A and B are shown apart, each in its own frame.
Chain A
């Protein structure tokens, strides 16, 4: 602004003339001694420096705009990926129907059973003031279901994998199937309706109970979760007994 002021009449015109003279540093025509020379030098430096910085600012913005952080974003459409990648877009494997055990594992993770019963049902999470100390582990649920040998364990898993609940009437090849069926119905009820937890210290805080999942899990979800839990059983237990 200041350096582009028009050469008007009077003082302004004279100032601009003397300014130009200083700028061209002609010692022969020294300007009026009333004009402060250091101020003019600063003015020149300001204009030149400002111009340079503006130039560099433009360069910086351009450099930023060309950095991968910016331009890769615009190459993210499927079309540009295909253009950039000689192998073409990745071929996704065909999604296969998950088996009940896989589905049960997904339900277990997404419903959040693991926050209490541990990842892979291994337990060990503390329940404050709970009679048993920690939330029950679930990777030994086969024993709780009275599946007493490896064959019954395999038969139960097979039935659940086919979508048949263990309290069904048909013969599933499980040793003492009626008893197993009763226990199975019990576990299903606990999962659907929840179960209160006993306090260790009657005057202390209330320990966290097993919440009910009836409005969040379907019958299939519960059956598949139990199939998943049975599949977690360490089969060594059966070998030792034999």
Chain B
């Protein structure tokens, strides 16, 4: 009896390995086929600075002021840190009690007349002081075998950014995943609109 029970254990092990492999494989295939963002625990999705589109767009800044490649180039691009630095100043405001204070960041956080209109959180101040580029993670990215040009869609086709990127005016957290307002998987997000707009769906128009 003991012998057969130990044999049963082996049987389950032998059966469990392929089942586990098949499970992982199925998940991988599903995530690739549906484009659904399955959890990727090994990927760090946090952004270095808690940048909020909502707060800045409320000042009526335009998308192409920061993403200045969107009208003229393939890539929209992310703004360099120097853009942030022109508003998020580290020197205290003139005439404030903190002007003589050397610790300008602490003074800027003190509030009242000592405060700039644009408060600078410490993690942003660290990059500005060091003069380093903020290492933003970019999540919206077409695969390398696909050619996508912002100029073609923004300047020539006059599409609003929101058609493809959703309403950024309400996004008060940094972008942490690729999103598409229509929630179509993979290639369909492009082809669906191209069919509607009667634009080329020739494979080689997008693939190279």
Interchain CB contact under 8 A, B68 and A205: no
Answer whether residue B118 sits at the interface, using C-beta atoms and an 8 A cutoff. yes
From B39-47, B109-117, B168-176, B188-196, give the one contacting chain A: B109-117
Known: A73-B145, A125-B61, A127-B117. 16 other contacts (CB 8 A): A2-B11, A2-B14, A39-B8, A42-B15, A47-B14, A50-B18, A68-B207, A72-B145, A111-B82, A115-B65, A115-B86, A129-B117, A203-B112, A203-B113, A205-B117, A206-B94
Interface centre among B11, B22, B79 (most CB of A within 10 A): B11
Interchain CB contact under 8 A, B82 and A112: yes
Nearest chain-B residue to A201 (Cβ)?
B113
Nearest chain-B residue to A111 (Cβ)?
B82
| Chain A 46-65 interface 0/1 with B at a Cβ cutoff of 8 Å (1 = within) | 11011001100100100000
**Cβ contacts under 8 Å, A134 to chain B:** 60
Interface centre among A43, A60, A109, A112 (most CB of B within 10 A): A112
Shortest beta-carbon distance, A44 to chain B, in Å?
9
Q: Can you list 19 A-B pairs, Cβ within 8 angstroms, ordered by A?
A: A36-B8, A39-B4, A42-B12, A45-B15, A46-B14, A50-B14, A50-B15, A50-B17, A54-B18, A57-B25, A60-B25, A72-B207, A112-B65, A125-B61, A126-B59, A126-B60, A128-B118, A203-B112, A208-B89
Answer whether residue A35 sits at the interface, using C-beta atoms and an 8 A cutoff. yes
Within 8 Å by CB of B118, from A34, A45, A125, A208, lies: A208
A positions within 8 Å CB-CB of B: 1-3, 11, 15, 34-36, 39, 42-43, 45-47, 49-50, 53-54, 57, 60, 68-69, 72-73, 76, 109-112, 114-116, 118-119, 124-129, 134, 196, 202-209, 211, 216
Interchain CB contact under 8 A, A211 and B89: yes
Interchain CB contact under 8 A, A57 and B15: no
Nearest chain-B residue to A5 (Cβ)?
B10
Alpha-carbon gap, A68 to B10, bound state (A): 41
Alpha-carbon gap, A1 to B17, bound state (A): 12
Known pairs A47-B14, A68-B207, A116-B87; A206 contacts B144 (CB<8 A): no
Interchain CB contact under 8 A, B117 and A207: yes
Answer whether residue B102 sits at the interface, using C-beta atoms and an 8 A cutoff. no
Within 8 Å by CB of B113, from A114, A206, A211, A216, lies: A206
| Chain B 12-48 interface 0/1 with A at a Cβ cutoff of 8 Å (1 = within) | 1011011001100100010000000000000000000
Interchain CB contact under 8 A, B116 and A206: yes
Nearest chain-A residue to B82 (Cβ)?
A112
Which range contains the number of B residues in contact with the other chain?
Answer: 35 or more
Interchain CB contact under 8 A, A34 and B21: no
Within 8 Å by CB of B86, from A11, A60, A112, lies: A112
Answer whether residue B96 sits at the interface, using C-beta atoms and an 8 A cutoff. yes
Alpha-carbon gap, A216 to B131, bound state (A): 13
Answer whether residue B104 sits at the interface, using C-beta atoms and an 8 A cutoff. no
Nearest chain-A residue to B69 (Cβ)?
A109
Nearest chain-B residue to A123 (Cβ)?
B60
Interchain CB contact under 8 A, B117 and A119: no
Interchain CB contact under 8 A, B60 and A43: no
Interchain CB contact under 8 A, B83 and A115: yes
Answer whether residue B62 sits at the interface, using C-beta atoms and an 8 A cutoff. yes
Interchain CB contact under 8 A, A115 and B14: no
Nearest chain-A residue to B79 (Cβ)?
A112
Within 8 Å by CB of B116, from A45, A49, A205, A216, lies: A205
**Cβ contacts under 8 Å, A216 to chain B:** 82
**Cβ contacts under 8 Å, A127 to chain B:** 59, 117
**Cβ contacts under 8 Å, A203 to chain B:** 112-113
